[in-house]
Every structure is written in C-alpha cells, then in structure tokens.
Amino acid sequence: MDLNFTPEEEIFRNEVRTFLADKLPARLSDKVANGKHLSKADMQEWHAILNTRGWLANHWPVAYGGPGWSAVEKFIFEHECCLASAPRIVPFGVNMLGPVLIKFGNETQKRHWLPRILDGSDWWCQGYSETGAGSDLAAVSTTALRGHDAQGDHYIVNGQKAWTTLGQHANMIFCLVRTNREAKKQEGISFLLIDMTTPGVEVRPVITLDGVHEVNEVFFTDVRVPAENLVGEEDKGWTCAKYLLTYERTNIAGVGLSVAALQRLKRIAAQQMRNGRPLAEDPSFAARMARVEIDLENMKTTNLRMIAAVVGGGVPGAESSMLKIRGTQIRQEISSLNRRAMGPYARPFITEALEDDYTGMQVGPEAAASAAALYFNNRKLSIFGGSNEIQKNIISKMILGL
C-alpha cells in the first residue's frame, strides 16, 4: 500500500508543470479560470502547443505519435492541466476517432486521417445520438444506402443527429448510420466518416438554457459519402461504438476539474462576506464545502485505485460507472456552491461578459459573471455521456445479474 507517486512519476509531474508554466498562454488560462467561452482559435492554439510537444494524442500508441504514457502519467498530466486551468483537449478527433481508426481503420485511413487530427487540418465532431433516442445509442435511424456510380462506390446518407457538441466548428463528423434495416438493433449499424462541406449537410444550432451555443443538430439530405470513408466492416459499426464508449474511462471522474474548481470555490468563499465574516466561516456553507471536499478526496483515491487496477491488467467495469456518477455529482455540487456563494449576484447575467472582447459593465464579484450559467450548464454532466441512470443500470446489472 502506497498512495504516493514514484520518484519517476514525480519527475514527470514536474516536467508537466514546467511545460504548463512555460507554454500555457495566460490569456487562455484566465478564460478557463473565469469560465469564459473559448473560441475555436483558442482551442486550436492549445492543441497546436500540445502537438508541438508531442502530448496532444497522449492516449495513442507511440507508433502513431503518442508519448507512450502509463495510465498514471495520463492521470498526472490531466490533473496538472486542470490545476493550471488549461483548456480541455477537444476529445472528438484526438480521444474518440483516433483510437477507433487505430483499432479498426485500414492503413490508408490511418495514414490519411491521423496526421490531420494532430496538425488540426481536420476538426471533428461526433454523430452518435439522435433526437428521441437519448441514451439509447443503438436506436440509429439515420440511413446510409450503398450505391455505385461513375465516381465509384459510395453511400447516400439521410437522417439527423442530435447533441453534436461544437459541431459548428467542425469540418468532419464521424457517424453511426444504419446500413441494414432488416438486421436487428445493434446489428446493421456502420461507422462512417462524413465531410461536412458535402452538399446536403446542414448544421443547426441548439441553444441551451444558459443561452450558450455549444451543441447542434446535424441534418443529412442525400449526402454522398465515398465508400472508402467506411471504418471497419459494413454493419459492424456497433463494435467501434462500443469500443469508443469503453475506451480510456480512467479519467471519467474528472478529479482534476473538481480539485481545481474547489480551489477556486475556496478562494471565493474566503472573499465573499456573510454576517460580516467570510462565507467560508459560515457554519452552513463551511459544512457544505467540507462535505464535498471529503467526497472529492475519497473519489480521488477510488480513481487511483481503478488506475492501479488497469495498470495491473484489470478492466474497469462497474467502477467507471461509479466514477462517472460520483464525479458528476461532485462537479455539480461544486458549481452549485459556487452559485450559492454569489448570493443575490447570481441572478444578473450578461452573456457577452463571457466573451473575451467584452469591455462592458461588471455586476458584482468577478466570479458572478459565470456562476449561475456554469451551474445550469453543468446539469448536462449527469445526462450526457451515458446518463447517471444508465450508469446505475450498468452497475446493478453487473452486481445483481438481474
């Protein structure tokens, strides 16, 4: 039993810290720390910095340009990036499509697409869930009909995808499409790469309750997709989907994000006053903060235990569902406390104040500008990525077998 990192891992941690100190632009970390919106340029900038260092695709095998990190090193990297308020790596290309191509793609596809993910020539988004299907991913009704013409083999895609995060920035989308309507649910699904500049592709924004444009609906009307954009076998796309869903869930708890958020909350609670003393000394608020801090320290160790198990060759099952549930509960609770800490100033909300060119009035403490919006936005955490109800179904199936 030893909860400490090895000397080698400590050296690695310092390496990451130095890198972040040197290379992470303050302009970006300030925006992240203050809950401001990142532009596509911001994200691309950060991706490029990481790529230059060879740390962008840190889940990829060395052969494809990955740094060859252990699960522990990945955890440390993730953790330090959060503490430094670095932008999140946009996962769709690097962490989602990449591994699928590496596992199921053919040589041509790998040689063509992987480098373009790294250098940012392609910006990917995800075409998985559909309106009315929600957590029931296998309920794919978007169709792809195989055809052949002068330009060669192709698919004609018709249908619609929902909840496409950051789709407005993307030029490529990977989709689950139904290539066989006879086959039952999970079968007859294929994994297709679609150029969003193709005629017939339309992206419509979906505004969330916090007034933000983050997710989109993507519509496909007779969209022609060259057959070579099929990944894996036709009708066997569910294998890719499942692989992607279970791939690399060791950071699903978002420990780093919560640790960083709690640090910010503590600073705020030390500054905000209540009954003439810092909010941090108010018994009710102090108790709420202490409870979430204790939950977080427990979850961090649970997460490390799971990582150690993975390093030891174990395959996380119910554990990652537990981490998803508790991780989102903690993140939601911290953003809820953050909102409470603002008192009456949680209500005023100037959308533009979250854009970096904003120079208008500031209402209340600086943290108030994003507190409520962030709280409402974080409601998604327990819904997306497999709702917490789905996670509980998974857990009970694994342990009860009923």
Q: Least distance to another protein from the beta carbon of 59, Å?
A: 19
User: Has 281 been annotated as catalytic?
Assistant: no
Query: d(Cα 15, Cα 197) in Å, to the nearest integer?
Result: 41
Q: Would you give the binding string for a second copy spanning residues 306-345, x where CB under 8 A is met?
A: ----------------------------------------
What is the DSSP track for 69-130?
A: --HHHHHHHHHHHHHTTPPPPPHIIIIIIHHHHHHH--HHHHHHHHHHHHTTSS-EEEE---
Name which of 239 and 387 has its Cβ closer to another protein.
387
Residues of span 66-125 touching another protein by CB under 8 A: 72
Q: How far is CA 12 from CA 1, 75, 254, 301, in A?
A: 21, 11, 20, 20
Q: Would you give the binding string for a second copy spanning residues 260-289, x where CB under 8 A is met?
A: -----------------------xx--x--
Residue pair 96/244 in contact (Cβ under 8 Å)? The answer is yes
Fill in the amino acid letter for 177: V
Residues of span 195-224 touching another protein by CB under 8 A: 206-211, 215
Q: Least distance to a second copy from the beta carbon of 299, Å?
A: 23
Q: Does 396 bind a second copy (CB under 8 A)?
A: no
Q: Which does 90 bind (CB under 5 to 8 A by kind): another protein, a second copy, none?
A: none
Q: Least distance to a second copy from the beta carbon of 393, Å?
A: 18
Interface with another protein (CB under 8 A), residue total 96
Query: d(Cα 168, Cα 218) in Å, to the nearest integer?
Result: 9
Name which of 7 and 283 has its Cβ closer to a second copy.
283
From the list 130, 214, 248, 319, the catalytic residue is 248
Angle (CA) 397-399-402 rounded to 5° is 45
Q: Which does 313 bind (CB under 5 to 8 A by kind): another protein, a second copy, none?
A: none
Judged by CB under 8 A, which of 11, 62, 183, 399 binds another protein?
A: 399
Give exposure, 40-63, as e/b (b: 16+ Cβ within 10 Å).
Answer: eebbebbbebbbeeebbbbbbeee
Active site residues: 248
The site for a second copy (CB under 8 A) is made up of: 283-284, 287
